[in-house]
Amino acid sequence: MKNYKLKIKNGNDGIMLKKYFRLVLIWVCFINIFCTLAVEAGEKAVDANIKLIMDQKVPMRDGVKLSARIWMPGEINEALPVVFVFTPYISDESQKRGMFFARNGYVYISADTRGRGNSQGIFDPLEGDKHSRDIYDIVTWIVDQPWSNGQVVMRGGSYRGMVQWQAMKTRPKNLLSIVPSASVYPGLDFPSGLNIFYMYTLRWLASTSGLTDNPALFRNGDYWKNKYLEQYREHRPYSRAWELIGIEERIFKRWLAHPYFDEYWQSCSPTPGDYKQVNIPILTITGHFDGDQFGSLTYYKEFMKYASKEAKKNHYLVIGPWDHGGTRRPRQETNGMMFGKNAVLDMDQLHLDWYNWHLKGKKRPEFLKNNVCYYVMGANRWKYVAALEEISNAKQVWYLSSENGKANDVFHSGKLTETMPGKEKPDRFEYDPLDITPADHYDFPDEFVDYQDQSGAFAPHKLIYHSPPLEKDLEVSGYITFNAYISLNVPDTDLQVTLYEIKPDGTAILLTWTIMRARYRNSLSKPEPVKPGKVDLYKFDIFDFFSRVIAKGSRFRLIISAINSPNWEKNYNSGGVVAEETGKDARKAVITLFHDKKHPTHLVLPVYEE
Do residues 183 and 160 touch, judged by C-beta distance below 8 A?
no
- What share of the chain in percent tops pLDDT 90? 85
Q: How do residues 421-441 score in pLDDT, each as one tens digit? A: 999 999 999 999 999 987 776
Say which residues have a Cβ less than 8 Å from residue 39's Cβ, sequence separation at least 6.
none
pTM of the model: 0.90
CATH class of 49-195+260-390: alpha beta
Reply yes or no on whether the pLDDT at 47 is more than 90: no
What integer pLDDT is reported at residue 451 of this predicted model? 41
Residue 122 φ then ψ, to 5°: -115, 135
Reply yes or no on whether the pLDDT at 11 is more than 50: no
3-class secondary structure, 425: coil
What integer pLDDT is reported at residue 65 of this predicted model? 98
Element at 405 (helix H, strand E): none
Reply yes or no on whether the pLDDT at 312 is more than 80: yes
Where residue 444 falls among pLDDT bands split at 50, 70, 90? low
Reply yes or no on whether the pLDDT at 361 is more than 90: yes
- The residue ranges of every structural domain in the chain are 49-195+260-390, 394-608
Instruction: Measure the CA–CA gap between 194 and 390, rounded to whole angstroms.
Output: 27
Residue in 64, 109, 103, 77 with CA at minimum distance from that of residue 91 = 109
Question: Selecting from 2.60.40.10, 3.90.78.10, 2.60.120.260, 3.40.50.300, what CATH number does the domain 394-608 have?
Answer: 2.60.120.260
Tell me how long the chain is.
Answer: 610
Q: What number is the average pLDDT over the span 229-253?
A: 94
Percent helix / strand / coil, the chain, rounded to 5: 30, 30, 40
User: Computed from CA positions of residues 302, 308, 313, 315, in that sequence, does the dihedral angle turn out positive or negative?
Assistant: negative
Do residues 269 and 299 touch, judged by C-beta distance below 8 A?
yes
- What share of the chain in percent tops pLDDT 70? 89
Residue in 514, 513, 508 with CA at minimum distance from that of residue 550 = 508
Instruction: Measure the CA–CA gap between 6 and 69, rounded to whole angstroms.
Output: 62
